[in-house]
Amino acid sequence: MHYIRAFVSLLGDILRNRALLWQMTKRDFQQRYVGSYLGILWAFIQPTVTVLVFWFVFQVGFKSQPVDNFPFILWLVCGMVPWFFISDSLQGATTAILESSFLVKKVVFRVELLPMVKLMSAILVHGFFVLVIFLMFAVYGYSLSVYNFQIFYYGVAMFCLCLGISWLTSALTVFLRDVGQLVAMLLQLGFWCTPIFWSLKIIPPQFHTVLKLNPAYYIVEGYRQSFIYHEWFWQHILLTGYFWLVTLAILFIGAFVFKRMRPHFADML
């Protein structure tokens, strides 16, 4: 019950301060690229260049074979776009409180907004790349499908997962600065343990269950089900149930830890 009350309390604070959250998100998004000639365009240029490099290497250079009769680059992009959000949001949110220590020391400021700002900033870039996915599928001759709009469900699921993790890691980082390095290392490991570049079909069946325990697997495969395989999330009821069980547990624990540690943030900064 303590976890649930803490989560409801944090959620209520966010809803009451949603206007401030939006203003801080816009400011954070702009300040990340202050001083550069291209400004906020860098938020879109860097991931775009990454996608183009992978397209050239695997499609033109290695001439990668289609995956399940779909061009490899389309299959790859459906996995990379959600991972861009997961990686960018978690790395930013983990150090959000440290970066804004001057705000934390203000008694009236709602500290729980800081990790949320990083997630909101990352979702703006993510929205752009979702449009890129639609464009790429159109260029390759694939028409719009009702399954494509399932992307919004998986986007919400991904956001909830990252929010719970960011509340936990951002709070712990105030007391243990090594958490930021640990998160970066785990993201590198998670990238290769998630079927972004490789298909689960190439892995021996006895390892499938272990790999599916990774919550990011559900998100990445969900994006592909929305654009490539045309399957509804309720067709995978066990995996969906497991994902939400884990995500809700992380949300409640993250909220509880954040709320318990919040009174001590100013003393540690």
Q: What is the DSSP string of the chain?
A: -HHHHHHHHHHHHHHHTHHHHHHHHHHHHHHTTTTSTTGGGHHHHHHHHHHHHHIIIIIIIS-PPPBTTB-HHHHHHHHHHHHHHHHHHHHHHHTHHHHTHHHHTSTTS-TTHHHHHHHHHHHHHHHHHHHHHHHHHHHTTPPP-GGGGGHHHHHHHHHHHHHHHHHHHHHHHHH-THHHHHHHHHHHHHHHHSTTSS-GGGS-GGGHHHHHTSHHHHHHHHHHIIIII---GGGGHHHHHHHHHHHHHHHHHHHHHHHHHGGGHHHH-
pLDDT of residue 9: 67
Distance in angstroms (rounded) separating the CA atoms of residues 225 and 205? 20
- Chain-centroid distance of CA 261 in Å reads 24
Per-residue pLDDT of the chain (269 residues; tens, 9 = 90+): 666 666 666 666 677 777 777 787 777 776 766 555 556 676 677 777 877 787 777 766 666 677 778 888 888 889 989 998 999 899 988 888 887 776 666 656 677 778 888 888 888 888 888 988 898 889 888 888 899 999 999 999 999 999 999 999 998 998 888 888 899 999 999 888 898 888 888 888 888 888 889 999 999 999 999 999 999 999 999 999 999 999 999 998 988 888 888 877 766 66
pLDDT of residue 61: 63
pLDDT of residue 259: 83
The ranges assigned to domains in the chain are: 2-268
Beta-ladder partners of 70: 67
Distance in angstroms (rounded) separating the CA atoms of residues 171 and 72? 40
pLDDT of residue 258: 87
Q: Calculate the CA dihedral of residues 19, 249, 118, 93 and round it to 10 degrees.
A: 140
Residue 250, token pair as written in the block: 């992380």
Distance in angstroms (rounded) separating the CA atoms of residues 266 and 269? 5
Residue 75: closest CA among 226, 233, 261, 257: 226
Distance in angstroms (rounded) separating the CA atoms of residues 137 and 232? 19
Contact between 74 and 59 under an 8 Å Cβ cutoff? The reply is no
Beta-ladder partners of 67: 70
Exposed e or buried b per residue across 129-162, where buried means at least 16 C-beta atoms within 10 angstroms of its C-beta: bbebbeebbeeeebeeeeebebbeebbebbbbbb
The pTM for the full model equals: 0.87
63: left (phi over 0), alpha (psi -120 to 50) or beta: left
